[in-house]
Structure formats: C-alpha cells, structure tokens
Amino acid sequence: MLFVPHDLRLRMQAENPRVVRSADEIESILNTAGLRPTRQRMTLGVLLFRGEHRHVTADGLHQEALDTGASLSLATVYNALNQFADAGLLRRVSVDGMRTHFDTDAGDHHHFYVETEDRIIDIPRGSICLDRLPVPPEGYAITKVDVVIRLKRIQPHQDKEAGHSPR
C-alpha cells in the first residue's frame, strides 16, 4: 500500500474547499499518488477531486461518468475507487457492510448516515468529543476511531423535483 505524502494530503485538503482543480492538477495528484493517469482514472479523478470534498458509491460515480459521456463499466469504476483508496486518495466508509462509500476527504472525521437514503454526511470537525476511550486489550493499540451516527428523517423530504410544481 502506498502512503500519500503529507504535502499531497495538505494539497488535497485545500484551504478553500470550493477550489476548482484543473485536469493538470488532477493528473499531478494521480501521479504523486503513484497512479498512472489513464483516461479512465482521469475521468473519475476529475469527478472526484475537481472541487469540494464528496462522498460517492461505485454505482453513483458510475452513473455520473456515464452522464459525462464516458463509457466505463461499473467494474472499472469499482476497481479505480479501490486503487484510489489504496493509494490514500480516498477513504472507505462502511456503514452496513453492504455498500462501501468512498470519501474524498481522507482525513480524520466522522459521519452521519441516513439509513433510508443510504447517504453519508460529514459531522463537522470538533463537534464530537471523545475524551474517554476504552483501554485496548493487551497487545493491541487503537489506530483509529470511526463514529457513524445513524439518522432517520422526521419530516417529509422537500424534494424540488418531485411533487407538483406550481405552474
């Protein structure tokens, strides 16, 4: 497994999260992570890394790639996502063991999970306080703590595209 250099990770967590990265910058991100920027990886890299941090699933990203006119199989998207994750560019977030979500923010943070929508949302940094962790069993060390807080909607979803439009 490759390790993403600290300076690359800092660049990935750009100060301005709304920054729009050029294809050249995305190519350089892939190169620095040790991934050859093939056409397919570039297509997916642009969707993933061009702007704000995102959470995607293989299905969702596959559909987005098709919408841009690219012809990629779901298996290709899945393999690329796993390569990006192995290279440290993405973080895997498993909530139910059924479907893996991939997070373009590979830094430490926690998530809300909306079960009925199969969607994860970042919990703002600093809003969870873990000040008492258990002592791990002898011979083990804690490497990471992932908190997933499950949500259900308590008000009907206001979906602009659904329902009757006042016309």
Binding site for Zn ion (CB under 5 A): 103, 105, 122
Alpha carbon of residue 83 to chain centroid: 13
Q: Which is nearer to Zn ion, 52 or 59 (CB)?
A: 52
Q: Which of 118, 95, 97, 123 is nearest to 108 (CA)?
A: 123
CB of 119 to Zn ion, least distance (A): 11
Distance in angstroms (rounded) separating the CA atoms of residues 33 and 2? 7
- Cβ of residue 147: shortest distance to Zn ion, in angstroms? 11
Hey, what are 129's tokens?
């306080």
Report the residue number, 59 or 146, with the smaller CB distance to Zn ion: 146
Q: Which is nearer to Zn ion, 27 or 103 (CB)?
A: 103
The distance of closest approach from Cβ of residue 49 to Zn ion in the complex, given in angstroms and rounded to an integer, is: 14
- Structure token pair of residue 153: 């909607």
Name the residue nearer to Zn ion (CB basis): 11 or 53: 53
User: Phi-psi bin for 55: left (phi > 0), alpha (psi -120 to 50), beta?
Assistant: beta
CB atoms within 10 A of CB 153: 10
- Minimum gap (Å) between residue 109 Cβ and Zn ion: 5
Give the nearest residue (CB) to Zn ion. 103
